[in-house]
């Protein structure tokens, strides 16, 4: 046996403000009249204050020059002292409430009375009616206890067999059933499916009580055609064979949807076959036993309930919720097989005999889903069952109380379902392209040629993949993508003039579930990069000269631990000397560099006089340049380390050497040199040197150093201008910024 599953004036329209949608190129601005009167619109912070809104003092309608950049415009206007407020021009839609006088009792369709339940714990039927209120061309079969087809709130939405003549005792359409004008009574074998219980009439009213007729209640479909198929008796029970025949009748006579608010624990393969053969959604009540149908009971068998539990592709199994969005305590559930929930507690609707009644059960929940399926078919009667099912299940409102208890974890939402079905997806154009160089981030507007048939405001979703070449990509929802090539090692390795094309895809959304994707291409060009290259470095901390220096025959230079600019060692001239030299052992070839700088520190004791000196000589162009720098006694700071910096740009051609030459009168007079370093500037780090670093040196030899762009520019400008810093005392190592551009070159290297 199969059992039914049950327990137990003119309304004005209203306006619905959609805060997620607003005009993409217009905002509303309210100004202070006293401030605004003193200034012409064009004079206010460069902002255009548009046109006044008639009858609204101070309110002005402003058109934005950059469409879709509403947030930026709002910030600009809100910052102006003449502005009281600025806000989007929101889209407002008229929403019609039905004028059925008992609609207020139908919390499942519009739940806003706090004495009844939780605000919006409903299926959003009112919002769905902005899109469709149904169509009488959509046929919904109610296989139940019959339907009171004479009920004044149902009669206008009862299906009539177009091929049958009522009361003539003939099978006019040849379908095997006599006088099946509004359906058929399979229990009694006649053409009169009149309800003698009330269950089927209540189900039919939920699906399609005539809406906005000034009488009683409103169905989810104000317009539809209810096919009444009776197989359950007044006691609420019937036989599987009659149910199977009713399903076949609905299949053969054009029903779009079947509602089945009944079931049993018996698996019947013949019934499953009949359901599988039906081309539309088969909406089944999950049952009222409070079972988890995916768990085994005390006897080791599952608490299964059919037909809801059949694994048929077109079945939608429905649990019941109350007016506070809680799963009804008596409702069956199951995360693997009960698809969603719908309102099923204290549902007010039509009853047999022309009246109305309140009923509870998953029997009352299922017709809410069948009704929404009817709305979807009113928009497109050709949709396959799988698409209708997917639209309903993918647009539920997630509820905590349903998590882990139904497949979707959510409750039916009619508005979201019909919005998703009626929506046309946007069209994204594969035309976004841009060009930049390896060091310049750019902003790409990708929505310029993207279109939406419905006029929806388009936005961006995530990029996938973010970037094929590793650039940083940031998506802004209003239509722009920030592309930063500096994050890509591949792009930073481009040589001057070399190009690579980076491609990635973005997704555009219309905010109503419609998406499309398109490609973006960015051509990135390599620059003539400069890198700092350490050509030579010695702080005299290791063994004496270490193959980097040679002395003349006087041998008056030695590695001293008496003092150092930093560390513990330096080169020292000690004793009477006449032109004693300390010379680089081997020449450098700086021909691959575009600029170079020599830095070093030196020191003289306080007893030096003006005839005592240390000189820097440079060998380039096959000859020595004497006294490029000279440190003398009496005329320079004594007993303090002095740091020097020498521009070597004019010495780049041919072999390059430097030497320190000392002239000292008294063996008691000492001078020191420390931290000798030569740094060149080379394109893409390609320099030349003939002086490989010795194996035991830790601080000499060429090293390419990544160079900060801002400091690089400063150094390059200084070198081009021939700038050189004056002599100065030892630098403060804690400072963060160099005092001159040339000093920046040295500081960058030391801070790396």
pLDDT in tens, 623-636: 999 999 999 887 76
Rounded average pLDDT over 208-233 = 97
Q: Both tokens of residue 443?
A: 């902003």
The residue among 509, 682, 673, 447 whose CA lies nearest residue 582 is 673
Per-residue pLDDT, 586: 92
Please write the tens of the pLDDT for every residue from 416-459.
Answer: 999 887 667 778 877 788 999 988 898 888 776 666 666 666 77
Q: Both tokens of residue 515?
A: 């998406």
User: Alpha-carbon torsion 386, 387, 390, 392, what sign?
Assistant: negative
Q: Are 148 and 251 in contact, with CB atoms under 8 Å apart?
A: no
Confidence of residue 96 (pLDDT cuts 50, 70, 90): low
The alpha helices in 328-405, defined as continuous H runs, are 362-379, 385-394
Please write the tens of the pLDDT for every residue from 576-612.
Answer: 888 999 999 999 988 878 889 999 999 988 888 888 8
Q: Tell me the C-alpha distance between 472 and 522, whole Å.
A: 12
**Strands, E assignment, 32-133:** 51-52, 59-63, 83-95
- Per mean pLDDT, which of 640-644, 666-670, 698-702, 727-731 is the most reliable? 640-644
Say yes or no to pLDDT of 56 above 60. Answer: yes
Say yes or no to pLDDT of 740 above 80. Answer: no
Q: What angle do CA 631, 635, 637 make, to 5 degrees?
A: 75
Rounded average pLDDT over 257-279 = 96
Q: Both tokens of residue 115?
A: 């004495």
Q: Are 617 and 624 in contact, with CB atoms under 8 Å apart?
A: yes
Containing H/E element for 748? helix 741-751
- Helix, strand or coil, per DSSP, at residue 420: helix
Round the average pLDDT of the chain to a whole number and report it. 83
Rounded average pLDDT over 464-481 = 80
Please tell me which residue, 559 or 685, carries the higher pLDDT value. Answer: 559
Per-residue pLDDT, 65: 62
The answer to whether residue 144 is catalytic is yes
* Beta-bridge mates of residue 459: 509
- Which is catalytic among the residues 312, 331, 360, 363? 363
The residue among 363, 58, 343 whose CA lies nearest residue 202 is 363
Q: Are 436 and 469 in contact, with CB atoms under 8 Å apart?
A: no
Please tell me which residue, 749 or 499, carries the higher pLDDT value. Answer: 499
- Which is catalytic among the residues 199, 202, 256, 368? 199
Per-residue pLDDT, 370: 99
Say yes or no to pLDDT of 70 above 50. Answer: yes
Per-residue pLDDT, 533: 86
- Per mean pLDDT, which of 43-47, 66-70, 441-445, 447-451 is the most reliable? 441-445
Burial of residue 441 (number of CB atoms within 10 Å: 0-12, 13-18, 19+): middle
Q: Both tokens of residue 544?
A: 């004496």
Please give the DSSP secondary-structure letter assigned to residue 332: -
Q: Tell me the C-alpha distance between 598 and 112, whole Å.
A: 81
Cα distances from 392 to residues 80, 123, 328, in angstroms, run 47, 11, 21
Rounded average pLDDT over 722-732 = 36
Per-residue pLDDT, 283: 98
Rounded average pLDDT over 502-514 = 79
- Which is catalytic among the residues 69, 110, 122, 144? 144
Give the count of beta carbons closer than 10 Å to the beta carbon of residue 586: 15
Confidence of residue 514 (pLDDT cuts 50, 70, 90): confident
Q: Give me the percent of the chain exceeding a pLDDT of 70.
A: 81
Per-residue pLDDT, 480: 80
Question: Angle of helix 199-208 relative to helix 362-379, nearest 10 degrees?
Answer: 40
């Amino acid at each position: 046996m199969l059992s039914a599953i049950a327990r137990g004036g003119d309304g004005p329209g209203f306006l619905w403000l959609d805060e997620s949608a607003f005009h993409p190129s217009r905002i509303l601005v309210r100004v202070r009249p006293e401030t605004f009167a003193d200034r012409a619109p064009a004079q206010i912070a460069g902002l255009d204050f548009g046109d006044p809104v008639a009858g609204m003092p101070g309110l002005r309608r402003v058109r934005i020059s950059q469409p879709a950049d509403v947030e930026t415009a709002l910030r600009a206007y809100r910052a102006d002292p003449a502005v009281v407020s600025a806000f989007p021009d929101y889209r407002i839609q008229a929403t019609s409430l039905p004028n059925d006088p008992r609609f207020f009792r139908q919390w499942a369709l519009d739940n806003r009375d706090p004495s009844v339940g939780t605000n919006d714990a409903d299926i959003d039927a009112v919002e769905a009616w902005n899109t469709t209120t149904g169509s009488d061309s959509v046929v919904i079969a109610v296989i139940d206890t019959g339907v009171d087809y004479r009920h004044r709130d149902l009669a206008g939405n009862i299906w009539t067999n177009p091929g049958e003549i009522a009361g003539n005792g003939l099978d006019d359409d040849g379908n095997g059933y006599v006088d099946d004008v509004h359906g058929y009574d399979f229990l009694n074998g006649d053409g009169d499916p009149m309800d003698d219980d009330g269950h089927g009439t209540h189900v039919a009213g939920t699906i399609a009580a005539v809406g906005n007729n000034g009488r009683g209640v409103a169905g989810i479909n104000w317009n539809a055609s209810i096919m009444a198929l009776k197989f359950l008796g007044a006691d609420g029970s019937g036989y599987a064979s009659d149910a199977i025949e009713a399903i076949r009748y609905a299949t053969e006579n054009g029903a779009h949807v079947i509602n089945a608010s009944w079931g049993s624990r018996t698996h019947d393969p013949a019934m499953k076959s009949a359901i599988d053969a039906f081309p539309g959604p088969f909406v089944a009540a999950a049952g009222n036993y409070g079972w988890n149908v995916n768990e085994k009971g005390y006897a080791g068998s599952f608490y299964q309930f059919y037909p809801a539990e059949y694994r048929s592709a077109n079945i939608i199994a429905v649990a019941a919720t109350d007016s506070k969005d809680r799963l009804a305590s008596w409702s069956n559930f199951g995360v693997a097989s009960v698809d969603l929930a719908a309102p099923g507690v204290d549902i007010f609707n039509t009853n047999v005999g022309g009246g109305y009644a309140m009923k509870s059960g998953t029997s009352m929940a299922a017709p809410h889903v069948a009704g929404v399926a009817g709305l979807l078919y009113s928009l497109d009667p050709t949709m396959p069952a799988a698409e209708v099912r997917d639209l309903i299940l993918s647009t539920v409102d997630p509820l905590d109380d349903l998590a882990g208890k139904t497949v979707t974890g959510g409750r039916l939402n009619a508005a979201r379902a019909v919005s998703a079905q009626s929506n046309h997806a946007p069209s994204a154009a594969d035309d976004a392209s841009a060009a930049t160089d390896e060091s310049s981030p750019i902003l790409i507007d990708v929505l310029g040629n993207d279109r939406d048939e419905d006029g929806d405001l388009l936005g961006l979703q995530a990029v996938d993949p973010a970037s094929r070449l590793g650039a940083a990509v940031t998506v802004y929802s209003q239509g722009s993508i920030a592309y930063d090539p500096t994050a890509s090692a591949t792009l930073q390795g481009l040589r001057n003039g070399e190009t690579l094309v980076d491609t990635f895809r973005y997704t555009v959304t219309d905010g109503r579930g419609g998406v499309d994707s398109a490609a973006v291409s960015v051509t990135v060009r390599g620059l003539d990069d400069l890198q700092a290259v350490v050509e030579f470095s010695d702080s005299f901390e290791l063994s004496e000269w270490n193959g980097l220096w040679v002395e003349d025959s006087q041998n008056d230079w030695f590695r001293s631990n008496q003092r150092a600019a930093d560390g513990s060692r330096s080169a020292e001239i000690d004793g009477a000397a006449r032109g004693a030299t300390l010379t680089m052992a081997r020449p450098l070839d700086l021909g691959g560099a575009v600029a170079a700088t020599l830095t070093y520190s030196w020191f003289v004791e306080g007893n030096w006089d003006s005839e005592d000196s240390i000189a820097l000589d440079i060998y380039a162009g096959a000859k020595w340049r004497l006294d490029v720098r000279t440190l003398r006694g009496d005329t320079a700071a004594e007993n303090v380390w002095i740091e020097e910096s020498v521009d070597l740009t004019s010495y780049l051609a041919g072999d390059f050497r430097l030497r320190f030459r000392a002239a000292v009168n008294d063996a008691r007079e000492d001078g020191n040199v420390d931290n000798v370093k030569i740094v060149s500037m080379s394109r893409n780090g390609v320099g030349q040197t003939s002086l490989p670093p010795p194996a035991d040196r830790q601080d000499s030899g060429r090293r390419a150093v990544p160079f900060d762009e801002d400091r690089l520019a400063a150094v390059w400008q200084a070198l081009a201008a021939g700038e050189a810093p004056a002599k100065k005392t030892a630098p403060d190592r804690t400072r963060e910024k160099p005092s001159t551009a040339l000093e920046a070159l040295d500081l960058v290297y030391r801070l790396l």
